[in-house]
Structure 1
Amino acid sequence: MKSKYLKHGFLILMVFLLSSMGYIGAAYGEDKLTEIDKMTIMNLIADKVRSFHIDPINVIELYDGAIRGMIDNLDPHSSYMPPAAAIDFAERIEGNFEGIGITFSVINDKITVIGVIKNGPSERVGLKSRDKIVIIDGIDAVGISEDKVKELLRGPEGTEVQVNVERPGEEDLLKFSITRDRVEINSVSHAYMIDNITGYLALATFTSHTDANVLKALSMLKSQGMERLILDLRNNSGGLLNAAIRVADLFINEGKIVSTRGRRNIDNRVWEANKSARYGTIPIIVMINHISASASEIVAGALQDHDRALIVGQTSFGKGLVMRPIPLENNKDLGNLMLTVARYYTPSGRLIQRPYDGSKEDYLREGFDDFDPNALDADKKGRSVFKTDLGREVYGGGGITPDKTLLQNKILNELERTLRRSNLFFEFADGYLVRNNDIPDDFNEFLFNYRIPEHEIARFKEFAIGKDIKIGNVSLFREELKKLLKKFDVPEESAEAVEKSLVNMGIDLDETLFMKSIDYIDRGIKMEIARMLWGTEERYKIWHTEDTELISALSYFEEAGNLLERRLALGEIKQDE
């Protein structure tokens, strides 16, 4: 009984009680109750529930449910953030925090350094990936929670923290004195040259430092010979509006970037390019997927509307709402209200926001759906049509529709998804480097020619079993196929024909998930070895060897170049001097 009330929230409880007491319904004069009356009723019900309900009720949790219910009635993205969550959000948006500059995970009860942030305090003193922090300021750190780790390692800029670490190959503990500093979180997760002329830049988020991060990466790529660019916005769920504007401004020389319209005049604004695009004349391909949202869609939409880039991938999420964090204060910090204050529109006038008439769960599921109706011509009928600068048709009301739809990368099976969520590849790679000394010194040799030996794959299998990972399951293909056929109203008897065709192609539908995942496991182990020996960039290079979307995107540069030539012919983009 108790869980039922907590699940549905205090608002549902209020509605039920008020209905039974005659407070709800026109017949009882609901319209005569003021806002203050409603607030009084809420507090009175909380008091009565605490005093008389058959089960002991945590009224704080009921109030939390009431808050969620109130905000869920607004739109799918407005939310309330308690004080701790508001602080974390501010750090992510600002793109920095005060600490020692590492990413870590607690593995086998030990704080294991996954990565060291470049130019951060830990890198300066020599901390490395694979180090295990066992003592912090004289306190035994083995077995503590990740929240406690953050509490001990973070602190005001300029203060010191002493750590003792275990390092592979070292018999004694190593001692480091680390001066905490303001650590910048780079919005560019990785950037490198794919070939002699093609730069690749993956943008993970939009913070107050994003434009500076992007400029630095672009400058590095240009110094290495970049003549064309892949801008990867896949899985980038957004961030600051101003950051998106500044990034788009790097590539657009003239015209509108984005506009917003809200209920208040202050929220009605138009942002124009500042006529000094530093990278206004290089061919660009922008990659998006279903998770690309908000600020990512502002950038992709502006570049598409001005014919400045070819957009490839899958239709983006469709979040065209402008959010504002509003502090709640009453003699103390009560958290933030993240509230929708406006809608944004691309330069051609498109509203990218998807309809949200149904439940929040349906809205989110539809946004991440692998089926891409916006890529089908039949499903564009009835949608608002807009024109780019060159007269190409683009569509509003449902995310950014790519110019070229790409087949998605291989969908991970159940085992692969489990492994991706864990740190098992990292943990196994740590021991792998202790057992094996045959890793090539040259990264490219490792990238293209090195394979994890069969006996190590077998060892990984036993390692995974020891971690309670189910590796022997038969593929769930048949069950997934039935779900897919049902989803698109395809007769179920068609499943047999599909299975027969696959068997005729030599595909074993009863192969275990582990056998199906060997290539993924090989790549996962290699990625972590690369991170440990060379760094994050090299880790991603290994991942991209099987990134079929990226490989496909590269084939569209001729079209991206033609688009740029036509755009330049309009005379509205200033040539680089």
Structure 2
Amino acid sequence: MNTRHFRPCFFLTVLLAATILSSQPAYADISQKEREETYKQLEIFSNVLSILQNNYVEEIDTKEVLSGAIKGLLLSLDPHSSYLPPEDLRELQEETQGAFSGIGIEVTIKDDLLTVVSPIADTPADKAGLKANDIIIEIDGVKTKNMGAYEAIKKLRGKPGTSVTIAIHRKGWEELQQINIKRDLIPLQSVNFKDLSPGFIYSRITNFQSNTATDYKAGLAKAKKEQPLKGVILDLRNNPGGLLHQAVNVADIFLSEGIIVYTKGRIADQDTVFSAHPNNPANNFPLVLLVNEGSASAAEIVAGAIQAHKRGIIIGSQTFGKGSVQTIIPLPDGAGLRMTTAKYYTPDGKSIQALGITPDVEVPVIACIEPESGDDNKTRVKEADLANHLPSSQSDGEAEPEEHKELDQLLNQDNQLRTAYNILKSLSLFSSFREESAR
């Protein structure tokens, strides 16, 4: 074949390569041998592209083909590196601000399969029963094999009120399950607080957005203003992560000194250390963190820091193990390059990547079995059923407070939370004894 067909594309590619490679020292020191090998591979790529332009059965869209080549390049590196077209980059920026429409789910590529990292709490995905490590085989009938995580996210998102059907495989299932989910606006608020009992607070962070640490501090300040704090539960279950600096700021609320997390990359510029600042002693209350297989990335950073400094007790199940750092590099056309540049390490030097955080107290989830009828109360013997039992100080006509009923229901339905609450009360009691002894 006449080589003149290859030249224009080849010179363009080499010119682009020269521009890219000339800027590389800002990221890494590339040897002359590596440069020569890169030029050689780029020439092969250029030749293939030129052959396609001249001989493919139909005229190809060069821009689309090159975009696909870039996506394939990044997909071959790791599940979290990706090419973001302009619209995808805008969506990512909107998501970190807390405003996007979809089903509320974080996905990744695990063992070449599109895998659920975690459904965000109280979103359509969560309410539909999706769980961490579910494998998404199809989205609206389209196979997800060879589909990148961001391409999948784009298909899962859409206008509020529209629906998407996904085919799910879960360990233990013999057949795929088709689940239809109606999209909704994913809530901006990532933090919520609830009173468990006087002085004991339940808090939850569903993901780490740009205002998460500020909102958490405000919620904590409000709780302390209403009553002296005896202990706090921080629920990070099914929290897929989010912004690194927000995770650092949340961990800093509970820590007064030492490293929170550090990162190590291939080059020195990617090595960073995040440390805690002196805190008000009022934040030294007993602390329990809840985690599970859906706790990932930024959530694992918080849990790892609290565990390493023995600031609180971690309860639940092994976390997801997403411990890599992604850097977003804007490109001239409005697109972006999402590139893995480093790995996270806990203060005691443990890598989170592919390992996760092991709880101090492992508590498997036990499904709540509700009584089929009110007959349960008839078969269970209570103190009130015994002859000559001592009367209650509460009058017969006085009903149990509504908040007690809600608490009982919450704890009965969630055995991990129940364990966390019992441990928190024990920690608070021990702390009180220690303070009394010190006086």
Q: Per the shorter chain, which TM-score range?
A: 0.5 to 0.7
| 1:310–1:560 CA contact under 8 A, matched in 2 | no
| 1:405-424 paired onto structure 2 within 5 Å | 405-410=362-367
SS in 1 for 2:290: strand
Instruction: Output one character per residue of 1:35-72: Cα deviation in whole Å (capped at 9) or x when no partner.
Output: 34433432442343354345786666654443233113
| 1:98-109 paired onto structure 2 within 5 Å | none
Show the counterpart of 1:347. 347
CA offset at residue 542 of structure 1? 7.4
1:315 pairs with 2:318: yes
What letter is aligned with 2:367?
K
SS in 2 for 1:250: helix
- Rate the CA distance shift 1:541–1:339 in 2: closer, same or farther, 3 A: farther
Instruction: Output one character per residue of 1:553-574: Cα deviation in whole Å (capped at 9) or x when no partner.
Output: 2222255448979999xx9xxx
Instruction: Output one character per residue of 1:414-437: Cα deviation in whole Å (capped at 9) or x when no partner.
Output: xxxxxxxxxxxxxxxxxxxxxxxx
CA offset at residue 257 of structure 1? 1.3
CA offset at residue 551 of structure 1? 1.9
CA offset at residue 256 of structure 1? 1.6
Please give the alpha-carbon distance, in whole angstroms, between the structure 2 residues aligned to 1:322 and 1:566.
43
Instruction: Output one character per residue of 1:396-429: Cα deviation in whole Å (capped at 9) or x when no partner.
Output: xx111000011125399xxxxxxxxxxxxxxxxx
CA offset at residue 276 of structure 1? 1.8
Instruction: Output one character per residue of 1:451-509: Cα deviation in whole Å (capped at 9) or x when no partner.
Output: xxxxxxxxxxxxxxxxxxxxxxxxxxxxxxxxxxxxxxxxxxxxxxxxxxxxxxxxxxx
| 1:308–1:567 CA contact under 8 A, matched in 2 | no
CA offset at residue 33 of structure 1? 6.4
Show the counterpart of 2:55. 52
**Alignment RMSD (CA, Å):** 4.2
Identity, in percent, stands at 33
What letter is aligned with 2:359?
P
Show the counterpart of 1:259. 262
1:294 pairs with 2:161: no
- Rate the CA distance shift 1:54–1:545 in 2: closer, same or farther, 3 A: farther
Show the counterpart of 2:271. 268
Show the counterpart of 2:420. 553
What letter is aligned with 2:420?
A
Instruction: Output one character per residue of 1:129-151: Cα deviation in whole Å (capped at 9) or x when no partner.
Output: xxxxxxxxxxxxxxxxx85679x
Judge which range, 88-97 or 254-263, deviates more: 88-97
CA offset at residue 215 of structure 1? 0.6
- Rate the CA distance shift 1:447–1:565 in 2: closer, same or farther, 3 A: closer
| 2:368–2:412 CA contact under 8 A, matched in 1 | no
CA offset at residue 255 of structure 1? 1.6
Show the counterpart of 1:192. 194
Instruction: Output one character per residue of 1:187-206: Cα deviation in whole Å (capped at 9) or x when no partner.
Output: 21x21102222211110111
SS in 2 for 1:219: helix
What letter is aligned with 1:198?
F
| 2:84–2:338 CA contact under 8 A, matched in 1 | yes
| 1:251–1:278 CA contact under 8 A, matched in 2 | no
- Rate the CA distance shift 1:246–1:566 in 2: closer, same or farther, 3 A: farther
| 1:307–1:563 CA contact under 8 A, matched in 2 | no
Instruction: Output one character per residue of 1:525-575: Cα deviation in whole Å (capped at 9) or x when no partner.
Output: xxxxxxxxxxxxx9x99777522221222222255448979999xx9xxxx
Show the counterpart of 2:209. 207
What letter is aligned with 1:195?
S
Show the counterpart of 2:327. 324
Instruction: Output one character per residue of 1:14-41: Cα deviation in whole Å (capped at 9) or x when no partner.
Output: xxxxxxxxxxxxxxxx999643443343
| 2:291–2:317 CA contact under 8 A, matched in 1 | yes
Please give the alpha-carbon distance, in whole angstroms, between the structure 1 residues aligned to 2:307 and 2:343.
19
TM-score, normalising length from structure 1? 0.45
CA offset at residue 295 of structure 1? 1.1
Please give the alpha-carbon distance, in whole angstroms, between the structure 1 residues aligned to 2:426 and 2:83.
45
TM-score, normalising length from structure 2? 0.58
Which one has a larger percent helix, Structure 1 or Structure 2?
1
Please give the alpha-carbon distance, in whole angstroms, between the structure 2 residues aligned to 1:411 and 1:288.
19
Please give the alpha-carbon distance, in whole angstroms, between the structure 1 residues aligned to 2:216 and 2:318.
24
- Rate the CA distance shift 1:541–1:95 in 2: closer, same or farther, 3 A: farther
1:42 pairs with 2:53: no
Please give the alpha-carbon distance, in whole angstroms, between the structure 2 residues aligned to 1:223 and 1:446.
20
Judge which range, 308-317 or 555-564, deviates more: 555-564
